[in-house]
A and B are shown apart, each in its own frame.
Chain A
Amino acid sequence: QDTQEKDKALPPERAEEAKLKAKYPNLGQRPGGSDFLMKRLQKGQKYFDSGDYNMAKAKMKNKQLPSAGPDKNLVTGDHIPTPQDLPQRKSSLVTSKLAG
């Protein structure tokens, strides 16, 4: 009963904001602005450095490259991310089910 009355005083949007701030007290000072925009602009960014990759390739010319098998989530010192390690993005070879 008490909380209902408290909510009545605040417009619903502000009540929701209070809820959010209670859960995440460190949420950005600026209301919903730049953080989201930067995240939106950076969509698709992966961590692959072509310089590191080529250096590692040269260094490991005579060594066997650690294969990106089931342990690929374990990163060791010598293991430089390679294009093969990145999540495989193969194009769909299957016809769309809408056309089925």
Chain B
Amino acid sequence: FLGAGGGNDIQWCFSQVKGAVDDDVAEADIISTVEFNHSGELLATGDKGGRVVIFQQEQENKTQSHSRGEYNVYSTFQSHEPEFDYLKSLEIEEKINKIRWLPQKNAAQFLLSTNDKTIKLWKISERDKRPEGYNLKEEDGRYRDPTTVTTLRVPVFRPMDLMVEASPRRIFANAHTYHINSISINSDYETYLSADDLRINLWHLEITDRNIVDIKPANMEELTEVITAAEFHPNSCSTFVYSSSKGTIRLCDMRASALCDRHSKLFEEPEDPSNRSFFSEIISSISDVKFSHSGRYMMTRDYLSVKIWDLNMENRPVETYQVHEYLRSKLCSLYENDCIFDKFECCWNGSDSIVMTGSYNNFFRMFDRNTKRDITLEASRENNKPRTVLKPRKVCASGKRKKDEISVDSLDFNKKILHTAWHPKENIIAVATTNNLYIFQDKMN
């Protein structure tokens, strides 16, 4: 495995865990998205209750060279509220589906957060000074009687305890008939896309909105496919991709036409017709698509695997990694308990050499693209001694279970890791279980 020895392999250690210990999880506390900002200094989470919590990494302590800064709460706010659309009889959940950070341009930080229907641009700013010494106001804000003012003074800024304020700067609403699954900021830093099941909209951060993809059929009876995820290319500002419930990915170029219904490239792996079953389409549905940092590759996650695609090759992925192949012989029960519809995300490390994704039983998996080794780790409070290296886990698919292995039937399918994030530069990862956030980092010597 990765990390089972060998000089260059990463050894992962527990660093921190956030959230309640109790097993009785309130719906609102279910974590629904996790995202590092571009420097990795900030880590944002969104939950089913519509709340955002942002953590900030402590400045590195020069004397403590054996650990990196910890992540502490920086700001928390209510991003979205539950709504009821009386006209359509539609209940709109406040659950935050995605958070995406804007690159930092000035002292303030900006992020986009979205629920099923509305995208909001939030400004997070620090205040560490306040003006004191007004002529017409007392320190507590009460107005002074002007007749008592006999001298003039110049108000000055004095330091105060740091206050972090979040304020909504833009609300992009009423543009999605269906449920938003993705937002992605363009490399031009001025526009972004939002995708729902059938349409992709292009927005200018300042004003406009229009459709750039519309796959809604004229007759809804003919509906065979929906959009599951979408992302802008990291460097090419006119290129974006979107994935479908049928396991295809379409790459579109906005320079080709205003409405990108015709793709420039279609990525699809040919299917073995003898293997086709009732489950084939469901498990081929892509739950996440992510470009590599280089922009040369993209990664897709379907129910059982992670695939790496070279943008220059449409007819098959260049790499395929099995996440939990042992579940293929459990599809019947996974369909009955709805787990087959779970939407796992995936992510790249900063150098695009390792990819990570979650699984069940609070397990998560990493695949090293160079060494072709993989590892299974667990996010659990049992391993929570800092600097203790995590022990690799193994699932026993069939036959005699070895010591320390866990059998497929003992896996807890309620403990899903759907959301993971990798720091853009360091070996620090954030892994969300149902209601807890774990931070792991590599062992520093």
Contacts and interface: CB of A to CB of B under 8 A. Distances in A.
B41 interface: no
A13 B281 contact: no
Interface in B40-96: 45, 47, 49-51, 53, 73, 76, 78, 81-84, 86-87, 89-94
B113 interface: no
Contact of A45 (B49, B89, B332): B89
A98 B19 contact: yes
A59 interface: no
Interface in A1-58: 11-17, 19-21, 23, 27, 31-34, 36-38, 40-41, 43-50
B277 A44 contact: no
Contact of B81 (A15, A44, A86, A91): A91
Contact of A17 (B45, B47, B274, B277): B277
A15 to B, nearest CB: 7
Contacts of B53: 96, 98-99
B76 A96 contact: yes
Interface string B276-290: 111111100000000
Contacts of A63: none
Nearest to A87: B91
Contacts of B89: 45-50
Interface of A: 11-17, 19-21, 23, 27, 31-34, 36-38, 40-41, 43-50, 83, 86, 89-92, 94-100
Interface of B: 18-20, 28-29, 31, 45, 47, 49-51, 53, 73, 76, 78, 81-84, 86-87, 89-94, 116, 178-179, 197-198, 220-221, 223-226, 245, 274-282, 328-332, 335-336, 341, 435-437
20 contacts: A11-B275, A12-B331, A16-B277, A23-B332, A31-B276, A31-B277, A33-B224, A36-B282, A41-B198, A43-B116, A44-B90, A45-B90, A48-B89, A49-B89, A50-B87, A91-B50, A94-B28, A94-B49, A95-B51, A97-B19
